Amino acid sequence: MKVSSLVAFSLLAFLSTVHQAAQADESGAIDFSLTANTPSSSVASALIEQSEAAPAPPSTPASSALSFAPPAASPSPPAPKPVALKESPTPDVATEQGSDIFAGGSDSLVARTVGHAEGTRTADGSKTRAYYGHSDPGNGVWNLGSFSYQHGAKSPEEADERQLRRLQQQADVIRQRADSHRLNLSLEEELNAIDLANQAPLAALDTPGYIEWLKKARDRGLTGSDAVLWARTQSYWNPRRNRWEAPGLGNTEDGISHDQNRRLTAISRALGTYQQQALARRKEDEPQDKVADKPPAEKVANSIIFQDLSQPKPGEIAQAN
């Protein structure tokens, strides 16, 4: 009986409390915040203190849009000004020789050396009977001039003029070919190249030609006339057909080498004579000091003085007797 009374009293008290709370909160919402029991002024003070104590957040860009523009490059130091390089002077022997060896036309160094190899000129430059015309031993065509020209000239002089123009062009090709292989041609090497072009243009200017064979000769350790002879001989070898191509020389290495050595020797002899003649002319052109005769007036004075001294006076003669 007492237990029932207590249960009923407790239930009545609980309902009474709920009713009072419902009347105090007009919105009927229940706040589950942990700070619900904290006065509003205390919460504001705590937030202010927290914001002052905490470090300021990093600033964010005003716009959040992505930018694909490349970053601004940092200024680079100015590029150094180009410095003009001074080329080291290299002696162009072939050019210097080329400006002289064709000078003089039929009396040029080229005409005299090649002509001596052809048999149309003597070592001292004189013209032989063959210069004025002869039949080519190989093909029977009539040849004229220093270079045995056989392409229809009216005179030996015209033949020389035509062939000199042709050889000058071929000499330019030879020099350019030598430059491409970095070969500095000696006077002997260049004159033999021109003579080979006069004798057999294809042997001199084909590829491989005289310049390529000369480079190989140097690579083999050959120098001077030995290198020239080997290069001239090998120029008649056709590597594409794997055979010699010099029917007029027997198409053998010995026959070709013998002929090329003969021509090389003739060029050397004519070159030596030409240089000796040039030296002799240079000495003749040099001024020579001569003892000048005394002036006529001084001669007369001396003769009078010596004549007076040699003749005795009349009184001196009488005393002597």
pLDDT at 212: 98
- Residue with the larger pLDDT of the pair 171 and 40: 171
pLDDT at 108: 97
Question: For the residues 217-245, what does the mean pLDDT come to?
Answer: 97
Question: How many CB atoms sit inside 10 A of residue 37's CB?
Answer: 7
pLDDT at 295: 57
For residue 169, pLDDT over 50 is answered with yes
- Residue with the larger pLDDT of the pair 151 and 13: 151
Under the banding of pLDDT at 50, 70 and 90, the label for residue 232 is: very high
Question: For the residues 60-71, what does the mean pLDDT come to?
Answer: 37
Question: For the residues 47-57, what does the mean pLDDT come to?
Answer: 38
Question: For the residues 17-29, what does the mean pLDDT come to?
Answer: 41
Q: What is the pLDDT of residues 197-212, one digit of tens each?
A: 999 999 999 999 999 9
Q: What is the pLDDT of residues 86-111, one digit of tens each?
A: 333 333 333 344 458 999 999 999 99
Under the banding of pLDDT at 50, 70 and 90, the label for residue 286 is: confident
Q: What is the mean pLDDT of the chain?
A: 74
Question: For the residues 304-308, what does the mean pLDDT come to?
Answer: 49
- Residue with the larger pLDDT of the pair 45 and 167: 167
User: What domains can be seen in the chain, in order of their start residue?
Assistant: 93-284 (1.10.530)
For residue 287, pLDDT over 70 is answered with yes
Does the pTM surpass 0.85? The reply is no
pLDDT at 307: 52
Question: For the residues 187-196, what does the mean pLDDT come to?
Answer: 98
pLDDT at 217: 98
pLDDT > 70 fraction of the chain, expressed in percent and rounded: 59
